[in-house]
Amino acid sequence: MQTLKVREKKVSVHTYNYDNIIEFLNITKDILENPTVKQMKNFRQHYDCSCYEHCLEVAYWSYLFCKKYGWDYVSAARGAMLHDLFLYDWRGSKKKLHLKHFHAFLHPQIALYNAEKLFNLNDKEKDIIVKHMWPVTLLSFPKYKESFLITIFDKRSALKSFFEYNKKQFSNTKFYRYAYIFFTGLLFRIF
């Protein structure tokens, strides 16, 4: 039996129950098992999180929220799982990657192109994928409430990664060491 993992940890939040996990896995099974989608595990998205883990996290949060409020949770989960299906390391230069525009503006179209080659997408799923970077892409405002929700959860996931990464980087001992160096330097400037 397949288990849902988010950031290499089994999901264990009080709102996540077994029935929701099983339903989510059934909705996204063809996506999760697709070899091309699994390639997202090879690309880092935010800090120490792969594209696959990021999409899985956004998809599950979207599924739970949409299900709770009676929205289209199937399209939300499926679209969110594919929203970053761009399959390259975006940290390389534009020139090296042969991109005409910056990654933030271009990757939604690349993800949609890749997703359409693999799956039959409905209009809502397409909108979720191509508009998930709003408000960075100002002119591509989400058409559906589910699309707008994915933009929020996408940013939430990025922020979560940022804070988790920095928490690891600045453990208490490192924090005190840097604080000591900073304040020592400050004292020498004053005196």
| Other Cβ atoms within 10 Å of 133 Cβ, number | 21
CB atoms within 10 A of CB 32: 18
Judged against a pLDDT cut of 50, whether residue 7 lies above it is answered with no
CA–CA gap between residue 23 and residue 163 (Å, rounded): 30
- The pLDDT score that the predictor gives to residue 76 is 93
Question: What integer is the mean pLDDT of 109-129?
Answer: 82
Among 17, 16, 21, residue whose Cα is nearest residue 1 = 21
d(CA 21, CA 75) in angstroms, rounded, equals: 16
- Map out the domains of the chain with their CATH numbers: 5-190 (1.10.3210)
Q: Is the pLDDT of residue 181 over 60?
A: yes
pLDDT in tens, 121-157: 899 888 988 775 666 666 677 788 898 888 888 888 7
Which residue, among 77, 70, 97, 63, has the nearest Cα to 32 in the 3D structure? 77
Token digits of residue 22: 């099983």
pLDDT tens, position by position, 60-96: 989 999 999 999 999 999 999 887 776 655 555 444 5
pTM, to two decimals:
0.70
